[in-house]
């Protein structure tokens, strides 16, 4: 599994370069993302465009990353997720993970929201 880190103003944009986040890949996925996350108030976006399958282990990895992010900074924004494949979006909806994460249909929408977030403005000061 690979993770592409794309520098964007005011946010950390992570693009997952894998088709599956399942029991076989979840630990590696979590480790890669955890190493990339910085304990700042900037927005973090995880792009899952290439992921066409996620299981409960993959969802657990995302929840763990969300909790790590929240523990690192009291006021840290939630991890945002974008570009969900229809099958992955269905899993998020069935498990109600769509209520836990900020989910955006496109990378552009996620980046626009990140640039408008209070955390982004706080980082500019």
Residue 88 Rama label (left phi>0; alpha psi -120 to 50; beta): alpha
Q: What is the pLDDT of residue 10?
A: 74
Q: What is the pLDDT of residue 118?
A: 55
Percent of the chain surpassing pLDDT 70: 84
19-34 confidence digits (pLDDT tens): 999 999 999 999 999 8
Looking at per-residue pLDDT, the higher value among 57 and 116 belongs to: 57
Q: Which helix (H) or strand (E) holds 44?
A: strand 43-47
Position 105 confidence tier, pLDDT thresholds 50, 70, 90: very high
Nearest to 14 by CA among 84, 82, 76: 82
Q: What is the pLDDT of residue 120?
A: 39
For residues 35-60, one letter each, b for 16 or more C-beta atoms within 10 angstroms of the residue's C-beta and e for the rest, the string is: eebeeebbbbbbbbeebeebeebbbe
| pTM for the model | 0.85
Give the pLDDT mean for 48-66.
95
Domains and CATH numbers, the chain: 2-124 (3.30.750.24)
Nearest to 79 by CA among 18, 21, 31, 33: 33
Q: What are the φ and ψ backbone dihedral angles of 22, each rounded to 5 degrees?
A: -130, -170
Cα–Cα distance for residue pair 70/17, rounded to 1 Å: 25
Q: What is the pLDDT of residue 74?
A: 56
In the three-class reduction of DSSP (H, G, I as helix; E, B as strand; rest coil), residue 83 is classed as coil
């Amino acid at each position: 599994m690979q993770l592409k880190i794309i520098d964007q103003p005011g946010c950390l944009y992570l693009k997952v370069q894998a088709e599956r986040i399942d029991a076989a890949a979840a630990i590696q996925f979590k480790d890669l993302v955890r190493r990339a996350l910085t304990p700042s108030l900037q927005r973090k976006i995880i792009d899952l465009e290439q992921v066409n399958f996620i299981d409960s282990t993959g969802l657990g990895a995302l929840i763990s990353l969300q909790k790590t992010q929240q523990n690192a900074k009291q006021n840290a924004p939630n991890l945002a997720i974008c570009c969900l494949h229809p099958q992955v979006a269905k899993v998020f909806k069935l498990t109600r993970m769509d209520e836990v994460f900020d989910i955006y249909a496109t990378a552009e929408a996620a980046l626009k929201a990140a640039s408008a977030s209070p955390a982004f403005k706080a980082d500019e000061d």
